[in-house]
Structure 1
Amino acid sequence: MTTGPTTSGEGPRTSTEHPAAEAGFAATPRGARLARRLAVGWMEEWGHPPVSDASCAVALVVGELAANAVRHGRVPGHEAHLRLRLDTATGLVRVEVADAAAGQRPPAAPPEPLPDGESGRGLLLVDALAVRWGTAGRHPVGKTVWAEVPSGPPDLS
């Protein structure tokens, strides 16, 4: 398990490489909270403080996707996986949350929540904060739900 930003290849990062970080987390509510905290920490290392719009947006998206993975994608004996990648060329942070439940995919568009419902708004938040989002298969088993969130310029102060 990696718990900090990593790049592919050896040696110092060049201008063409973009930061990426990934970690596994338990498919439990506590694990989902850990995933959110890790994402905020990585964003801070990439120049986006926890109070920045970019960090808050990524934290919300990670929180929703991790909570969904725990609630709808939990398979006993398998952990979930978080991956963040900052693309400085496009100014997007790609958030990927993977779980082991291949058959349980989110709808293509966020469902309309019930007016008095206490849940069902997570994908609406993801849809509002992300430029785009979707799902992909995960090898050897499961699925990945991903979202691309604008990062804006880092806070260099």
Structure 2
Amino acid sequence: MPRTLPQFSGVLAASAALRVECSREGFTRVRSFTRDTLHDWSLDHRCDDTALVVTELTANAATHAAPGEAGVPEILLGFLLDPTHVLVTVSDPDDHPPVYASADSGLEEHGRGLRIVDTLAEEWGWVLRSPAGKTVWARLPACPPI
């Protein structure tokens, strides 16, 4: 069942967005954009976890979004920052829910992405977009790790 986007703990401090090009260069740009954005926000301590979450979510969107349609699916990456969290959003044109692999699929080549997101994020979920598509989101802490 889709969930709503999480509520912010304070005032929105910053935001950033990128249209994702579904290519090797495009995914390299996604990782660079993630690191540059977090660096600009003085969140270098969250770059590795956030870059991994972003990589998994954008790869899932590119792999599964509108599989039967001609052309390249439009995927949008977004970041929202409040005083305590970074919200990562990845939107694509497919209405199907993301598939969370079972625990016994650990040796499979595919299907582990959302398990990684689940481990690194405080919470994650997805919502349907209007008129079509979905947004998968993950909320990560902005505070330095203890």
TM-score, normalized by the shorter chain, greater than 0.5? yes
Aligned residues of 2:12 and 2:80 also touching (Cα < 8 A) = no
Aligned match of 1:86: 81
Letter in 2 for 1:130: A
**Residues 114 and 16 (structure 1), Cα distance of their counterparts in 2 relative to 1, 3 Å cut:** closer
Q: 2:37 aligns with which of 34, 42, 49?
A: 42
Per the TM alignment, residue 125 of structure 1 is displaced from its structure 2 partner at its CA by 0.8
Unpaired runs of at least 5, structure 2: 1-9
Supply the distance in 1 between the matched residues of 2:23 and 2:94 (Cα, whole angstroms): 14
Q: 2:105 aligns with which of 101, 110, 114?
A: 114
Instruction: Output the aligned Cα RMSD.
Output: 2.0
Per the TM alignment, residue 96 of structure 1 is displaced from its structure 2 partner at its CA by 0.2
- Aligned-residue sequence identity (percent) comes to 33
Aligned match of 2:64: 72
Letter in 2 for 1:101: D
- Structure 1's consecutive aligned runs of 4 or more residues displaced over 6 angstroms after TM superposition are none
TM-score (norm 2): 0.80
Number of residue pairs aligned between Structure 1 and Structure 2:
132
Aligned residues of 2:65 and 2:73 also touching (Cα < 8 A) = no
TM-score (norm 1): 0.75
Equivalent residue runs for 1:6-155 within 5 Å: 16-49=11-44, 52=45, 54-74=46-66, 75=69, 76-88=71-83, 91-102=84-95, 104-107=96-99, 109-153=100-144
Unpaired runs of at least 5, structure 1: 1-14
Supply the distance in 2 between the matched residues of 1:46 and 1:117 (Cα, whole angstroms): 36
Letter in 1 for 2:80: R
